[in-house]
Structure 1
């Protein structure tokens, strides 16, 4: 059986298609008798309005694209839940995409979401897409950055004019990564650890570079930067596992590990336990972000940065609604920076 059309509904109800549209969208006056007749025909014909046609007419799809590096990471899911709790009551749905820390995949996802005519995009960038983002913004795409800022080094793409692509001015919701990593490392130093292994993420993104800067600042402040061991990971649990294996093969092993991402921290804990080491008696651990599995350890003594991804998502959701409603015409994009405490699981 073919799908019913708005013309069929109008014909059966004895009204114009414009009247059916007003009934469906609850716009303009329609008498109660006509409304009842139209809804009766809609139910009888099982008419389903076209979402595509409605979005073209309203110039709005009520869809928001969310691109994150790792869709399985609880941190990004917390952010997404905060966004959804703000925009959901206003009728918006989220479309989730995972770039897998791959700039090329991120570029394809950005273009796909733009072609799907999403009302806005939330982006936790994997880097390297400043030119693509500028192009989408020039075409009217709304966008908010979450967790990671765009970088100058990513914009060194020469155009026909020979000038570098300029960094777009977008609202950013992020953490104070430098200070938090500094405080996290300082907690280990205060306990007397000087031979510290740092598990860092990719430095092509701001979170990787800023958190490493915080670690180095704390080590230099104590004059022990030459005692630091560094493993460049990929923000994955597997990266944390590989880091521990490298550290344990050192002639002078570290007495503590600072892991600068919750997923890498999970890998660190798993590999330390597999290696038969006690935490913190044999190896102290500090994590950028809480790892729930750490509470399963007998006496973890685990330091962690107490992140608040849900609250960050709420802020991002507020900014999205302002953008979509056009309330930001006189608003200068700015950074909304969350500052967190270092806590310890006793």
Structure 2
């Protein structure tokens, strides 16, 4: 699928804006604050169903009570409308003339997003790395969003109970069961992706950097996990969890260990080396999504060229030469 045209109304700084997209690369250029990222965001909302950087209220232009996004492709027409009048909020997706309260999974189109914050995957928090992995899996696995949602709802309930000094272990058991069931599925799917990525990332890194350095990716939990093993972990941690008032084990606490040589990348990789690792991850992400979905993902590059030297800029564009790219830049 190719994106042909984008039109937005009352989207952040844009009261009205139309943009024709090229089948190859479209460059949106201009000074900071002119709304370049807002156009990238609008494409993401229309094709993925949500923003990557804010709430619907924040997307609306100042003083406006609605926004609208129209995306024309060579296959489908997408329209997103949001209204906030007298405290009543309503969002609607219209695709090929059919209305939906939420964008159906079958109508979502895969996107690989590369923005300045992406460059913090190596040195940022474990949550940032979990979000990267979870977001990737959700693009090809329809059940994964449901599994994450059920796990997180159960986690909130268990944490709430753990703060009650009168709670007994039996009252936690049903929540332990739910967490172990969905947690095992989440862990297994994360591990499958990382095992595939780990077998390929060193070769990609070396091809970008022109060095013999090695990169490794490892999930922080043991290689094999079952619902029974995870249930045992939750049960064994009850006394500690009661003391701290929170659930101390499970996929919400896990991480991706990124190694550079035989040491943690966050400790020893230079700024340029960290950026090369991120490039390699993004190349793997795009290839893996295409492998799983049969669709070539849309590539959104939001003001990242300033963070990359010319060699990495050229490598980035050559890797995605067969994908449609929409990119922003403060330069020409």
Instruction: Answer 1 or 2: which has greater strand percent.
Output: 2
Give the TM-score, by structure 1 length.
0.24
Higher relative contact order (CA 8 A, sep 6+): 2
Q: TM-score, normalised by structure 2?
A: 0.25
Question: Rg bigger for which structure?
Answer: 1
